[in-house]
Chain A
């Protein structure tokens, strides 16, 4: 397995506050990796360490086979970055900014630049100070997507885009993946992550609390079951992994640990299933679990390293 980057035990403190308390994050070459977490969880700090803008207090990072602090020039030629808060030079036009950033990076695909401007409906002649937040974001996105780089680091790139542009963005990322490039997508928009990402990591309070594919993560969650049976069930409450059981005559509803679905369904089948609705946990439920106050479980699936 080759990795676009790997980070282990990253710690970063700002004065008394600890922004990262040991982040382990690994992104495989060629995947689109979702990076989820509430505000202030440490997403941007992690990305800025990967870019060599901040220096970690502890831990090690390998980015495209190099050290992000030491090998700035070689590494940055091979990646593009879209910051979450895009700030541009007010007197430069959007087109000038795109060209400048592309040329600094070394390679800008002129045909793709024109195509992207068209798809994102961006007027490149406007001065940056006249752009709205969404349009500033488009400038940074076009500059990044039009560069021929191996790795794209996108920090909440769609927070200012309208739903139509969000759709355009998703198409672009799908194309990028087909070309075999790697994307780290920090995001709040769960539908976007669900649709685009091969794997994802959830960060909370400076630690990665979940990593894996969406289906791997779902294994850790509960599936909602609603069934109408031929006869009232008994013994269901004695099965392990059944929660919030509610039985009204022949109608049953409960939450089941996804790993225990088999035995539970067999038990239900013994009572004659007339109808059955099963709903896997949404990413939203997965995510909300980590917003809640309970201490983060150190549950890791897949291979964080």
Chain B
């Protein structure tokens, strides 16, 4: 039997399962490119504006961390690549990882692979089919990107280079997933490890690019070349393209897939090269209450979020010092920040905006943490706990206290990091840290309101629990676009974040903080009261 027999059937199965997902993915990527290209074209229409951008962004280590090295920044194409690059690369790399793992390791884990494997399926057909589907989607994203960029009047060569580099990145990480999926038995561990490779690649590139932007970073500059994300940017689209870098991506892809295929024949179906790690045979003495269980279940997620928020806060905090220079000459951008942050002092506006963003991030965490109650219920893990002397009230409270601890931790982290980084760059920690920290902590009551909505839904309309996510999305849209779109006041007032004092820049007023907390409490009490009386699903 040839090793690829059945690849068409398997690829067809994957397409049938995920046709909507795959289509949305391609459209989302194309939409992101189109949206960015269009707004860049509007914001940086004149050469003077672009040169200003090149001077401020190109030499700024902080923006290099997020946006990459920045080539050809005085051209529209270069700016577009710098602005969309990191997001788009994450948007191709992470789904590529998840899908390859989904079609390979997860299939084995669930036992579906055995069902299919007993039919006429070649040894490498499963992996090949996964790569065919994911690679095809990446090429469609490349084609859409190229078409969109050329459509906005950008040079053909640069558009081609960038589009192919994007697809190349997706392929490299599909290859990473193909290799990593052979190692562990568990699908989630596999996609987690491959995503960690992506994270490492991002950090390597961020350090390398920041060093390059700081001029004289020495050896550190070359770190970008160790990162597949860095390669995509080193293609230098719209600035004397280096086509050979695409070959580097292709070679890495082939090597990784080869490694994956070689590893896969050295193990049994369903098994990993590394046996699953064993846990404790007895629980630690502390794992003796529903409170301990809730903490055990939430801590991993909270640690991940805290690290993420700290990194983001570090980057945004580092830029704050340069914000005057970055937007001084661009009156549109300055107006946007004044709308968002509500202060005439640009830095204060910017800081208030960053802190409100972390508030919304904390709200997203809070919804996830509260809805874990529902997840435990529907996955039938609440049942064995509630069949012990644990009351419903104790069970729910244990998760909710965890959620509140998480909210405060995240906002405290954000306030401390932004305050410290910004204070250190300006040499004025004593002044900056307290006011930035205050600006972060005033978000807490608004976040609690969002959490309260989730609790109320959990109690009153458990089937519609996921609606709580819409509240987060709506709050984000209102806070980001409300001012620019000149939305009606009563619409913007619907967001709890609209009532948070914009600190720094404004005085802290107690009244909104008190009534927001009161609303949150009412929602929580309503939800929990109903939950104590309703049937468990």
Contacts and interface: CB of A to CB of B under 8 A. Distances in A.
A129 B186 contact: yes
A125 B275 CA distance: 13
A237 B285 CA distance: 73
Contact of A53 (B279, B296, B300, B387): B387
Contacts, number: 111
Nearest to B381: A87
Interface of chain B: mostly helix, strand, loop or mixed: loop
B185 interface: yes
Nearest to B388: A104
Interface residues of A, number: 42
A1 B49 CA distance: 92
A91 B391 CA distance: 24
Nearest to A93: B279
B193 to A, nearest CB: 16
9 contacts: A48-B536, A73-B391, A74-B389, A96-B279, A98-B283, A104-B289, A125-B279, A126-B276, A127-B276
A301 interface: no
Given A76-B387, A87-B379, 18 more contacts: A73-B389, A81-B383, A87-B381, A88-B381, A89-B293, A91-B296, A91-B297, A92-B296, A95-B281, A96-B279, A96-B282, A96-B284, A100-B283, A101-B385, A103-B288, A104-B385, A124-B282, A125-B278
B275 to A, nearest CB: 10
A81 B382 CA distance: 13
A267 interface: no
A56 B139 CA distance: 57
Contacts of B279: 92-96, 125-127
Interface in B257-297: 276-284, 287-290, 292-293, 296-297
Nearest to B185: A130
Contacts of A92: 279, 296
B278 A126 contact: yes
B533 interface: yes
Contacts of B380: 83, 85, 87
Contacts of A76: 387-390
A88 B387 CA distance: 14
Interface in B509-537: 533, 535-536
A95 B391 contact: no
Contacts of B281: 93, 95, 124-125
B156 interface: no
A120 to B, nearest CB: 14
B227 to A, nearest CB: 30
A88 B381 CA distance: 6
Interface of B: 185-186, 276-284, 287-290, 292-293, 296-297, 300, 379-381, 383-392, 533, 535-536
A99 B381 CA distance: 15
A95 B277 contact: no
A136 to B, nearest CB: 11
Contacts of A53: 383, 386-387, 535-536
Nearest to B385: A104
A106 interface: yes
A83 B381 CA distance: 10
Contacts of B280: 93, 95-96, 125
B283 A96 contact: yes
A130 to B, nearest CB: 5
Of B276, B283, B292, the most chain A CB neighbours within 10 A belong to B283
Contacts of B282: 95-96, 99, 124
Given A125-B281, A126-B276, A106 B389 contact: yes
Of B379, B384, B391, the most chain A CB neighbours within 10 A belong to B384
A181 interface: no
Contacts of B283: 95-100, 103
B287 A100 contact: yes
A157 to B, nearest CB: 13
